[in-house]
Chains A and B, each alone.
Chain A
Amino acid sequence: MKTKLIFKIFLLSIFFFNISNYSFSQRCDKKKFYDKKDLGNYDYRGQSSYSLLSPGDTVKLKIVVYSGQDYRIFTACDPALGQVELKLSKQIKKRKKIIKEITSEEVPIYKKDEDGELALDEWGEYIEEGSETIHDTIWGTKKYVEIKPIYSSINSSEPFWEQSVKKTQVLIVTIIVPEGDGDIAGCSSILIGHRTTRKKPKFKKM
């Protein structure tokens, strides 16, 4: 009887354990720390990111923005994390021509006749009369990355970055959680909204 009761308690405990675990676990994509009006007329499905952060954390997101699209990028975090900074930079990959190697080679100098043509000896071979050093430049390319800051939520009057993108490029989105109590963890969302740039009407205004 007693064993049965203990077994029942054990089963109930497992049941409650699972329920409580389920209810306590959190999905950051379901937490919304923003007003609906902040979203504007943009689609946020695609490159938005959600994560659990603590004070002092920094998250870097590399995204690709297409030309011909408008973007609105902002962050919305658990207020417990304090004033989280959003920074945006352009990543421009370039290649420049560089000197890879300069080679030196000793080459013979051949005798020339009165007409400026190479003179031949009795065996029909060119006649060597010395040598000279010839330098050859071998060119190569070097990839390098240029990072150009374009936005910081701390220095901006707008809480979001909003632009029509003219050239497809990589953007680096960084969020910096201020230092604080390291035991705190809160959800953060980096919201990347996009929409097709509306074409201007072709007709002239009356």
Chain B
Amino acid sequence: MLKHICNMKQISKFSKIFLLLISLILIDSCVSDNTEKKKNKDSNIYEVGNNKKTIFKLPSPVELFVFLHDNNAKFNKGILNTPDNSKKYFTNFSKLINFGIYASDLAYCTVFGQAQETFVYFKTTKSIGEDLGLNEGFNEIIIKRIENNQYQKDSLYQITMDAYWDACTYLEDLGENKKLSIILAGGWIESLHIAINSVDKFSPENKIVIRIAEQQLLLENLIGSFQTLKKDKHTQQMLAKLNELQTSFDKLYDNTDVIITENQFIEISNKIEKIRNQLVK
């Protein structure tokens, strides 16, 4: 009996310790919640220090593809990064940039109502996303949703838009600005590569050509976002490529009669193709 009472006492003693520990942990988590807020805020300030908390945004590649579709561009599967290439990317940088490239290809297939290709590119994007620990937006539930909506263009569009957006906001929320900028760069370069290849014949009045010329504003924002990042080899190399491209886009400011001349269009196209080929190889 005495032993039982002792045991009871021991249990009650440990229960007290246990309750105390739980209380301490809960208090700690409340405190760490505040510190976390401060930490996140500080890291945000740090990341954007050069521009005093300026955040640079780009319209999603989907908006460009909707524009191409509305202006009678033809779908061309041959210009996309083949899913087989996904096995070739080993470094984090190449995975991130090609995650953006494949996400852009996926959006292109979706906007142009290519159900089979949408499925293939979703799986490819998801596979690279998994390697990067980026499951937000690209998961089995979404795959099932795509399978179920394979022939409904509007649903596919909404699903893939959600997936890309969820992945981007997830990274932004985590303060992973570097990863996000690299993904956005990949997506933007691929969308421009697709737009350039959708131009049948150059004309300064061609609406697609004009939209390509307008991409100089997106490039400026993209460069702005790279300039806010902590310097490393990959981001510096990417920034150098983007700056080099900007020298060609800058020439458009000197135009008076037209937004873009044929020579300027060819120069920009060649540079985009060169950068894109370096990234996908």
Contacts and interface: CB of A to CB of B under 8 A. Distances in A.
Contacts of B30: 24
Interface in A34-77: 43, 45-47, 49-54, 57-69
B55 A62 contact: yes
Given A9-B17, A196-B70, A95 B217 contact: no
A131 interface: no
A16 B25 contact: yes
Contacts of A93: 220, 253
B120 interface: no
A108 B275 CA distance: 52
Contacts of B17: 9
Given A24-B30, A185-B41, A95 B254 contact: yes
A163 interface: no
Given A9-B18, A58-B53, A45 B66 contact: no
Nearest to A54: B41
A49 B57 contact: yes
A183 B37 CA distance: 10
Nearest to A64: B217
A9 B34 CA distance: 26
Contact of B57 (A13, A57, A58, A192): A192
Contacts of A49: 55, 57, 172
Contacts of B169: 27, 29, 50
Interface of A: 5, 9, 12-13, 16-17, 20-21, 24-25, 27-29, 43, 45-47, 49-54, 57-69, 93-95, 141, 143, 168-170, 183, 185, 192, 194, 196
Given A45-B162, A46-B63, A94-B253, 9 more contacts: A13-B22, A24-B32, A46-B62, A46-B165, A51-B44, A57-B53, A60-B53, A65-B59, A68-B67
B14 interface: yes
Q: Classify chain B's interface size.
A: 35 or more
A59 B53 contact: yes
A50 B220 CA distance: 22
A58 B25 CA distance: 34
15 contacts: A13-B22, A17-B29, A21-B29, A24-B29, A27-B173, A45-B161, A46-B60, A52-B41, A61-B56, A63-B59, A64-B57, A66-B59, A141-B253, A168-B214, A170-B221
A30 B60 CA distance: 20
B82 interface: no
B201 interface: no
B37 A52 contact: yes
Contact of B221 (A27, A62, A94): A62
B25 A60 contact: no
A194 B53 CA distance: 24
B253 A13 contact: no
Interface string B57-82: 11110110011001000000000000
